[in-house]
């Protein structure tokens, strides 16, 4: 693994951790939430600088179903995160008070809430679409030469259990109610132990990764059936 790849993966890990921090407003409070938002903004900029080749190849080559899916998700995630940053700056009371955007507070609050929950789902889907690459990379270090069917079956069962709990957690945490503005104010349980918060959000992320991975896998299999000689 070269230095650039190590830096890219470190940035991705930090972005994922920061995402959880941003979603845990009830534990961090306003000031730390804004600091985490500023950190996420810097990481986002760095992430796209490190992946500048993605922009350079957007108009090159053919678009398979898998590539279309990945591109749509990536562009949607970029737009949502930029809107989240803009609305966050408009709502800032500590870090970005020197920036005046003129965005009404009610509009900024609703936009920030929508983008926060939609962004969490999209980033999880984004991870899921790159899950095979992540697993292959880890497997080069830890996977034995012989295929272990029991281990594979165990991992699949664990994935199904996590995804199943994720369905419950995504409903429990009102993700779609916030995204669709059925609830315009986020309910924070300040007495909830952080363990249960992290457990639920990890399960929601796991559910999105599960869905993205298997949808992409299905598209790859369909493409290979149509074009047996083509390797994706």
pLDDT per residue, tens digit, the chain (232 aa), is: 678 888 988 999 999 999 999 999 999 999 999 999 999 999 999 999 999 998 888 888 899 999 999 999 999 999 999 999 999 999 999 899 999 898 999 999 999 999 999 999 999 999 999 887 766 665 555 555 455 788 778 888 999 999 999 999 999 999 999 999 998 888 888 899 999 999 999 999 999 999 999 999 999 888 888 776 555 4
* Other CB atoms within 10 Å distance of the CB of residue 15: 17
Give the closest residue to 220 by CA, choosing from 67, 59, 60, 58. Answer: 67
pLDDT at 40: 96
Six-digit token string for 16: 């994922």
H or E element in which residue 122 lies: helix 105-129
Report the Cα 220 to chain-centroid distance in Å: 22
pLDDT at 232: 46
User: For 75, what's the count of Cα atoms within 13 Å in the CB-facing half-sphere?
Assistant: 8
Enter the pTM of the model. 0.88
Give the closest residue to 24 by CA, choosing from 186, 184, 169, 210. Answer: 186
Give the closest residue to 82 by CA, choosing from 124, 33, 51, 47. Answer: 47
Give the closest residue to 166 by CA, choosing from 132, 138, 125. Answer: 125
Give the closest residue to 23 by CA, choosing from 180, 200, 206. Answer: 200
Query: Helix, strand, coil proportions of the chain in percent (round to 5)?
Result: 75, 0, 25
- Give the SS3 label for residue 17: helix
Report the Cα 118 to chain-centroid distance in Å: 9
Burial of 84 (0-12, 13-18, 19+ CB in 10 A): buried
Report the Cα 109 to chain-centroid distance in Å: 21
Look-up of token digits 């500590």: 94
């Amino acid at each position: 693994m070269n230095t650039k790849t190590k830096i890219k993966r470190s940035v991705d890990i930090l972005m994922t951790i920061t995402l959880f921090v941003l979603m845990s407003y009830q534990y961090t409070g306003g000031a730390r939430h804004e600091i985490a938002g500023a950190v996420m903004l810097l990481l986002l900029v760095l992430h796209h600088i490190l992946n500048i080749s993605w922009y350079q190849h957007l108009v090159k080559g053919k678009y398979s179903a898998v590539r279309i899916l990945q591109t749509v998700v990536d562009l949607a995630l970029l737009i949502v995160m930029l809107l989240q940053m803009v609305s966050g700056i408009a709502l800032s009371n500590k870090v970005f008070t020197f920036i005046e955007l003129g965005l009404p507070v009610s509009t900024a609050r609703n936009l920030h809430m929508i983008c926060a929950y939609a962004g969490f789902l999209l980033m999880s889907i984004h991870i899921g679409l790159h899950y095979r690459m992540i697993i292959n990379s880890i497997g080069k270090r830890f996977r034995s030469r012989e295929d272990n069917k029991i281990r594979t079956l165990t991992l699949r069962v664990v994935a199904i259990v996590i995804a199943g709990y994720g369905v419950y957690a995504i409903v429990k945490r009102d993700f779609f109610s916030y995204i669709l503005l059925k609830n315009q104010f986020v309910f924070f349980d300040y007495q909830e132990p952080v363990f249960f918060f992290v457990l639920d959000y990890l399960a929601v992320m796991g559910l999105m990764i599960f869905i993205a991975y298997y949808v992409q896998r299905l598209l790859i299999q369909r493409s290979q059936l149509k074009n047996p000689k083509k390797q994706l």
